[in-house]
Amino acid sequence: MLENPVTKYPQPPFNKQPQPMPGLASKMDPVPDHGEKSYKGSGRLAGRKALITGGDSGIGRAAAIAYAREGADVAINYLPDEQSDADEVIALIQAEGRKAIAIPGDITSEAFCKELVSQAVEQLGGLDILVNNAGRQQAVDSLLDITSESFDATIKTNIYAPFWITKAALPHLATGAVIIATSSVQAYDPSENLFDYAQTKAANVAFVKSLAKQLGPKGIRVNGVAPGPVWTPLQTSGGQPQDKIVEFGKAAPLGRPGQPAELASIYVQLADPNASYATGQIYGSAGGSGHP
Ligand code: NAD
Ligand code: MG
């Protein structure tokens, strides 16, 4: 039966629901759909070994569930405060009979980024898919109110960490491996209150386009995803002011935010060897507006 994408998922208004950063998916109202009950695999990533940062919740969790159902073993990274969300993901991966590796830690530390990759490689027995998905987004109305500490944390999380993690991973990536970045529509049409975040998401696009050229001859593909508004704890824990949470996604032509589950198949597609001519690309998913 055909589905109507407008009415398929919750529409605004939503309740205000502030949480301290980084927030938990389990405390959101409504709880996001990461594909727990809906995603069906068909062996597209059989035997692959994937590391997903921010794999505890949101878009990263949706990718983790889908990858496991497509036959991959999956390691996830997240902050220690997110252990309860991570536990749910680990259980879902194990339910598919796949290896599930939990590696909590703060990726704003270069030393931890190196440790993360070495643990993932050791416990998975290699690495074929790297998804740099973790992100920090804190809305601030005025440039004058962005502290150097906050600016630094956003740059460290969204720009330095993918650099450090990718640098550590590269010696382990064989021909046919893939790297996937989570950018944003903010890279192309930045909001006035996401001054620092939007710059990092533009940097993520340049990361993809530069590294794809560097690694193309080696047979390693590098792509990115540019989501529009997606219902995740990133947004409710300071990514948007609470009055914007009430109407979150309303401006999209579909009239609602995306759910993480609706992006999972894009992460699968970019990792799938059938997409072998896709490298240096940014795939959009924004409910009808936004770029690319
Ligand atoms: P999310 O909160 O579920 O995921 C973000 C994750 O980043 C957290 O779960 C956390 O584990 C991780 N993280 C943050 N700081 C960290 C740190 N210092 N160390 C280790 N991990 C850290 O939210 P999400 O929306 O699924 O975010 C995933 C990605 O999607 C981010 O890169 C975000 O910029 C991007 N994105 C989100 C939206 C949206 O509307 N939700 C839109 C465009 C892009
Ligand atoms: Mg989380």
Q: Which atom of ligand 1 is nearest to the CA of 257?
A: 40
Question: Closest Cα to atom 2, ligand 1: which residue?
Answer: 234
Residue 25 in this model has a pLDDT that exceeds 90: yes
Strand (E) positions, 17-84?
49-53, 73-78
- The arithmetic mean of pLDDT across residues 257-270, rounded, is 98
Residue 277 among the catalytic residues? no
pLDDT, average across residues 260-288 = 98
Ligand 2 mean position, distance from CA 87 (Å): 11
Q: What is the pLDDT of residues 204-225, one digit of tens each?
A: 999 999 999 999 999 999 999 9
- This prediction has a pTM of 0.99
Q: How far apart are CA 32 and CA 131, in angstroms?
A: 20
> What is the share, in percent, of the chain residues with pLDDT greater than 90?
99
Check residue 292 and give its pLDDT: 78
Query: Best of 51, 53, 158, 232 to mutate for ligand 1, by most ligand atoms within 8 A of CB?
Result: 232
Calculate mean pLDDT across residues 233-247: 98
Confidence of residue 5 (pLDDT cuts 50, 70, 90): very high
pLDDT band at 144 (very low <50, low <70, confident <90, very high): very high
Buried residues in 38-67 as b, exposed as e (16+ CB within 10 A): ebebeebbeebbbbbbbbbbbbbbbbbbbb
What is the CATH superfamily name and number for domain 42-285? NAD(P)-binding Rossmann-like Domain (3.40.50.720)
pLDDT band, very low/low/confident/very high, at 145 (cuts 50, 70, 90): very high
Q: Residue 107 has what pLDDT?
A: 99
Does the pLDDT value for residue 22 go beyond 90? yes
User: Reduced to 3 states, what is the DSSP secondary structure of residue 49?
Assistant: strand
What is the rounded CA–CA span in Å between residue 19 and residue 6? 27
* β-strand partners of 73: 49
Of all ligands present, the nearest one to the C-alpha of 62 is: 1
Ligand at minimal distance from the CA of 63 is 1
> Which pLDDT does position 284 carry in this prediction?
97
Chain mean pLDDT for the chain: 98
The stretch 153-162 carries a mean pLDDT of 99
- Please write the tens of the pLDDT for every residue from 43-79: 999 999 999 999 999 999 999 999 999 999 999 999 9
What pLDDT sits at residue 290?
84
Which ligand 1 atom is the nearest neighbour of the CA of 237?
A: 2
What burial letters (b/e) apply to 109-133, b meaning 16+ CB within 10 Å?
A: ebebbeebbebbbebbeebbbbbbb
**Banded model confidence at residue 291, pLDDT cuts 50, 70, 90:** confident
What is the pLDDT, as a whole number, of residue 234? Answer: 98
Q: Who lines ligand 1 at CB under 6 A?
A: 22-23, 54, 56-60, 77-79, 82, 106-108, 133-137, 157, 182, 184, 227, 229-230, 232-235
HSE-up of residue 100 (Cα within 13 Å, Cβ side): 22
73 — phi, psi (to 5°)? -85, 145
* pLDDT (0 to 100) of residue 87: 99
Strands 178-182 and 221-227: parallel
